[in-house]
Structure formats: C-alpha cells, structure tokens
Amino acid sequence: MSMLLGSKTSRNSLAKAAGGRLPRIGLTLGDPAGIGPEVLVQALLQTDLHRRVEAKLFVAEELLPWVTAICQRYGLLQSHAATAGNPGLHLVPVPTDPQVDGPTTPQQHLQAGISTTQSRAQAFRALAAMADQALAGRLEAMITGPAPKGIFDHLQPRPPGQTEFIAWRLGVQRFAMMLAGPRLRVVPVTTHVPLRDVASLLTTEKIVDCSLAAAESLRGWLDLASPRLAICGLNPHAGEEGRLGDEEERIIAPAVAILRERGLLVEGPVVADSVFHRAMMGRYDAVICMYHDQALGPLKTVHFHDAVNLTCGLPVPRLSPDHGTAYDIAGKGIADPTSMVHVLGRAERMAHRVVTLAARAD
C-alpha cells in the first residue's frame, strides 16, 4: 500500500480523524556538513508539511543563526508559528554539552562536505534531544537526517547507528529496522555485520523479536489489521532440507512456529530467490530477512529513490531517508530530496495515526 501524500481532501480527513489536535513531528539535520540540511529544506518546500503539523527542528544552539537564515531565505518560518500547538516550523535550540563536545574550542566554520568532530557532536546533541522529547511523550513521530556512525564515538559501548541509539535512549529492547517502499517492505534481522558472521549471530529469539516489532508497527502505524510476514531462508533453496545448511531447520523454522503460536500470519522459511517477487505481487506485507544485503539489495532495486527507513517497536515512529550523508556532493545543490519527501509524507500519516490511536485510548 502506497504511503505517499494524498490530496487535500485526504489530508483534511486525517486532521479530522485526529480529533483536531495537530501532530508534533521532530526533525534533525543529521550531520550539518552533509546533505541533510539541503534535502530537508527541499522536502519541506515540496510537501508543505510544516504548514499542517507542528514541526520541531532540533538544532545545536550555535548553528541557530545559520539555520534561521536558511529557513527565512526559503520562507519556511511563519510568525504565527511562534507558540507551541500551532502549525509551522519551530526551531528548538539544543545547548552545548561538555561531555559530548569535549574541551571548549573556538566555533569552527561549518563547511559543506567536511565533517568535523564539532559537526558530528552537533548532530548527536540534536538527535539525543529529540529522542528525549519522544520519551517524554511530546512527539508523535521523529525524522532523522543522515549522520555517520562517528557521532557516537564518545559513547562506550558505541551504538552501531541511529536506530540502535534511539531504541536505547527510549528504553526499548525489541525493535527492528524496516526499509519500506510503496511495493516492498523488508526487515533485516542482522544489520551492519560481516557476512561471515551472520550465521553465528542469527538466533530464533532475534527472528521472533524482529517479526513481532514489524507486525506491531504494521498494525499500529500502517493500519494493517492482520499483517502477513514472510520469513526468509538464509541458505540457497532455504537449505534444501539441510543439504545446503541447517540454519533453516535449527533456527528459522522454530521462530516461524513461535510466531504462529503468537497468532501471526507467517510463512517460512521461504526461499530468497522468489520471496521478494511474491511480496511485490501482494502476497506478503513485509519480508523478514536474515542479513543486510539480502534485504536491501531487492529493496533498492525497486525503490532506490522512494524507500524510507522506519524503526519498528518504538513508542512513536522514527523515519529517515534511505541514504547517507553524501559529503562528496554536499552544498552543490544537486542532492536528490526524493527519499526525504517520502519520509515526510509517511511521517505525517503515521503521526496522525498515533494521535488517533491515543484519542481512542482516552
């Protein structure tokens, strides 16, 4: 099911369904030296998201004059949006933190394409502040700009990425990364690990947890009452009854059995060479994959520009574009905002859904 922004009629119906209360959506730029700032500005101009929701952009306080000037140049700041509860783009300054920024040093000139210790610290502070707002129940969705893994270098143990950090900050144990396009959704059980380590890292518990988190988000945020999941095999031909590997019988099949006992609609282990075609034909709502490229290879083949990254299992949706910082083209005005455009559209719909569910619960 496509999650693209709809017509004005569908947008107005969302607002009515939410009981009239505006969703609050948090945003970050990611590393300000990357393409995050420019793709966010272009996406806001294309979608007008900030005119329909309370969009809260978390910014390191020393970058506030720079960000304000950019937003004013493109007409993104409205005078009526000065107070909370109004639609508009609200800039939320995040103070410096000696534990993150290190010893006091002169403010460096921000240069597009040149990531520095300072720019990475600024990205981290904004991310942490937004996560804290979500934890406090003050956001219905989060949108993160692209940032390198280096923004977590000051933490021990170091989180693998923004997905894991946000889950940790929000106190969530069971979560999953879903890459979603209009025709295909995939969830990798293992993510940024060497291929040679995948088999040893796979466990029945991890497959169950990822599947449950994905199903929960499909039901709650995408309004799919009975999501259908395909649990992908690891080996060619899904192991061919143990001839090509025993992970399917030893690890994956037990996970499928547990998920069925929990009432989920699941099939598996399904062979990887046909499962994605079946999913795109409508048989499955998501494919649970065993490793990173098994999931992202097919996804990016069909959704290279319009896929988004969704973190499942959180109290509120967290979305990000399906691309990195692209330092090599930052500041040149050629970065493609398409993925961020789709992120804003999906976040708006999901945030309205969160508000609606909260209203029903009350």
Instruction: Give 188-217 as a DSSP string.
Output: ESS-SS-GGGHHHH--HHHHHHHHHHHHHH
* More confident call, 107 vs 35: 35
pLDDT in tens, 47-101: 999 999 999 999 999 999 999 999 999 999 876 555 677 899 999 999 988 778 7
Cα–Cα distances in angstroms (integers) from residue 71 to residues 10, 41, 78, 216, 337, in the given order = 28, 8, 10, 36, 16
Give mean pLDDT, residues 321-333.
Answer: 93
Q: Are residues 43 and 166 located together in one domain of the fold? A: yes
Using DSSP's 3-state secondary structure scheme, residue 222 falls into coil
Q: Are residues 259 and 214 located together in one domain of the fold? A: yes
Using DSSP's 3-state secondary structure scheme, residue 328 falls into coil
Burial code of 40-79, b = ≥16 C-beta within 10 A, e = fewer? bbbbbeebebbebbbbbbbbbebbeeebeebbeeeebbee
Specify whether the CB–CB gap between 240 and 248 falls below 8 A. Answer: no
pLDDT, residue 20, reads 60
pLDDT, residue 121, reads 94
Whether the per-residue pLDDT at 44 is higher than 70: the answer is yes
pLDDT in tens, 243-298: 888 999 999 999 999 999 999 999 999 999 999 999 999 999 999 999 999 999 99
DSSP state of 343: H
- By residue range, what is the domain housing residue 241? 174-307
Give mean pLDDT, residues 134-154.
Answer: 95
* More confident call, 12 vs 87: 87
- CATH number for the domain spanning 96: value is 3.40.718.10
Domain boundary among 279, 307, 335: 307
Specify whether the CB–CB gap between 86 and 54 falls below 8 A. Answer: yes
Q: Are residues 261 and 234 located together in one domain of the fold? A: yes
The reply to whether omega before 227 is within 30° of 0 (cis) is no
Question: How large a percentage of the chain has pLDDT more than 70?
Answer: 92
Whether the per-residue pLDDT at 3 is higher than 70: the answer is no
Q: Are residues 167 and 214 located together in one domain of the fold? A: no
Q: Are residues 159 and 14 located together in one domain of the fold? A: yes
Q: Residue 11 and residue 52: Cα distance in Å, rounded?
A: 9
pLDDT, residue 8, reads 34
Whether the per-residue pLDDT at 13 is higher than 60: the answer is no
Give mean pLDDT, residues 309-323.
Answer: 94
pLDDT, residue 80, reads 54
The reply to whether omega before 157 is within 30° of 0 (cis) is yes
Give mean pLDDT, residues 1-14.
Answer: 34
pLDDT tier at 105, thresholds 50, 70, 90: low
Question: How do strand 308-312 and strand 318-321 relate by DSSP bridges?
Answer: antiparallel
Q: Residue 169 and residue 26: Cα distance in Å, rounded?
A: 15
pLDDT tier at 126, thresholds 50, 70, 90: very high
Show the tokens assigned to 343.
């992120």
Which ranges of 188-315 would DSSP assign to H, the alpha helix? 198-201, 204-220, 247, 253-261, 272-280, 292-302
Q: Residue 82 and residue 65: Cα distance in Å, rounded?
A: 16
Q: Are residues 148 and 193 located together in one domain of the fold? A: no
Task: Say if residue 39 is exposed, middle or buried (CB neighbours under 10 Å; 0-12, 13-18, 19+).
Answer: buried
Whether the per-residue pLDDT at 15 is higher than 50: the answer is no
* More confident call, 344 vs 80: 344
Whether the per-residue pLDDT at 5 is higher than 50: the answer is no
Q: Are residues 200 and 302 located together in one domain of the fold? A: yes
Specify whether the CB–CB gap between 295 and 188 falls below 8 A. Answer: yes
Question: How do strand 176-180 and strand 185-188 relate by DSSP bridges?
Answer: antiparallel
pLDDT tier at 19, thresholds 50, 70, 90: low
Domain boundary among 307, 335, 354: 307
SS3 content of the chain, % helix, strand, coil (to 5): 45, 15, 40
Q: CA 346, 350, 354: angle at the middle one, nearest 5? A: 170
Q: Are residues 17 and 87 located together in one domain of the fold? A: yes
pLDDT, residue 7, reads 31
Q: Are residues 158 and 9 located together in one domain of the fold? A: yes
pLDDT tier at 133, thresholds 50, 70, 90: very high
Show the tokens assigned to 76.
């993104």
Q: Are residues 31 and 153 located together in one domain of the fold? A: yes
Give mean pLDDT, residues 285-313.
Answer: 95
Q: Are residues 166 and 181 located together in one domain of the fold? A: no
Locus of tokens 């609200």: 90
Q: Residues 97-100: contacts with CB within 8 Å, 24+ apart?
A: 97/125, 99/154, 100/124, 100/125, 100/128, 100/154
Q: What is the CA radius of gyration of the chain?
A: 21
Locus of tokens 């280096």: 150
Domain boundary among 260, 292, 307: 307
Looking at the structure of the chain, the number of domains it has is: 2
pLDDT, residue 107, reads 66
Give mean pLDDT, residues 108-118.
Answer: 89
Query: Which of 352, 337, 354 shows the shortest CA–CA distance to 47?
Result: 337
Q: Are residues 193 and 241 located together in one domain of the fold? A: yes
Which residues contact residue 361 at a Cβ distance below 8 angstroms, ignoring those fewer than 6 apart?
none
